Amino acid sequence: MPVEMNTPLGKIDVTEEVIARISGGAAMEVFGLVGMASRKAFKDGIAEMLRLDNLSKGVVVRNENGQVVLDMHIIVSYGTKISEVAGNVQRRVRYTLEQTVGIDVSAINIFVQGVRTERET
């Protein structure tokens, strides 16, 4: 179900896919974030990291009682403070969605699916 916005000029519908793609791109700008993880189950205990063209698959967009809620599945870099990376992702995504789409996100839930070291590819 698309997110609807009413303006003096008319109605604007923004699909969840667009919101997810913008959110994934904004999250990738945060230092310490290696990538977005697939929402699917782990493979052999390892989260599947998504390529840049599939970033939206690591984001779930829900419309709960007129409020937009995001669930983001991320992979962080080893040696970074996970709480700082998660907080920075929340702030960056909220700011980007407010500035580019004009929607207010009520919650951004972060699920850290893995930690990636430099040796892994």
The full DSSP string for 54-93 is GGGGGEEEEEETTEEEEEEEEEEETTS-HHHHHHHHHHHH
Mean pLDDT of the chain: 84
Instruction: Indicate the pTM of the whole model.
Output: 0.82
Q: Which domain does 13 fall in, by range?
A: 3-116
Phi, psi of 88 (to 5 degrees): -65, -40
Q: Does residue 121 sit within a domain?
A: no
Q: Does residue 15 sit within a domain?
A: yes
Distance CA 72, CA 47 (A): 13
Longest CA span, the chain: 53
Q: Does residue 32 sit within a domain?
A: yes
> Of 3-7, 43-47, 53-57, 62-66, which gets the smallest average pLDDT?
43-47
Q: Does residue 88 sit within a domain?
A: yes
User: How many domains, the chain?
Assistant: 1
- Summarize pLDDT for 63-114 with one digit per residue, the tens: 888 789 999 999 899 999 999 999 999 999 999 999 998 888 999 999 998 8
Tell me the CATH number at 53.
3.30.70.1350
